[in-house]
A and B are shown apart, each in its own frame.
Chain A
């Protein structure tokens, strides 16, 4: 049973435009959510996170929105740059992450020039 779902395997966005990556979860016990960026043959790199007590967290070009009632979060990247092309994973944890992370399958973001 997939507790964290990323329903878009891939997303193509023009350079300079906004990229919106979506993630849904089913476990209401999750209280901390993270986004990771991954290049081939490398480990995931932490991008941004959000606690369940917030609905928005912003860091430079990256903003994560959390809608607890809908069990949905999204990552906005604006403006999108060629270097943003990668696979993005949504992850969730309980208890602040002490028990490991539950990941989605990832979305391959392609930024087109």
Chain B
């Protein structure tokens, strides 16, 4: 089955530094990747949609200059949290799939727990 690998699984960083999270599709080509964020006791919220080779589309309220998304290949997308602050502490998770497939065709990574101190 489709496997999506997300790294790191957890990271602690100092306020003001940047953190990069990787999302890789291991056995399929992911033309589309979604990035979600989940705060404690809240639902997963869609942050942005990235299609391979094009700029990411960000949801309303998500700062594109703060959350840099790169989807340069069909197997890798990265989310960089720039100048991280404690309020950015959250659970970040990606899902990857091939455009044209239904929503159930997308596979989630295992998520990244980011703590900014």
Contacts and interface: CB of A to CB of B under 8 A. Distances in A.
Given A89-B44, A100-B49, A42 B103 contact: no
Interface bin, chain B: 20 to 34
A97 B102 contact: yes
Contacts of B95: 43, 101
A94 B37 CA distance: 19
A105 interface: yes
Interface in A6-32: 9, 32
Given A42-B110, A46-B104, A101 B46 contact: yes
A72 to B, nearest CB: 17
Contacts, number: 68
B108 interface: yes
Tell me what chain B mostly uses at the interface: helix, strand, loop, or mixed: mixed
Nearest to A99: B49
Interface in A84-112: 89, 91, 93, 96-106
Interface bin, chain A: 20 to 34
Contacts of A9: 41
B93 interface: yes
A19 B4 CA distance: 29
Nearest to B100: A98
A41 interface: yes
7 contacts: A42-B110, A43-B108, A43-B110, A97-B102, A97-B104, A101-B44, A101-B46
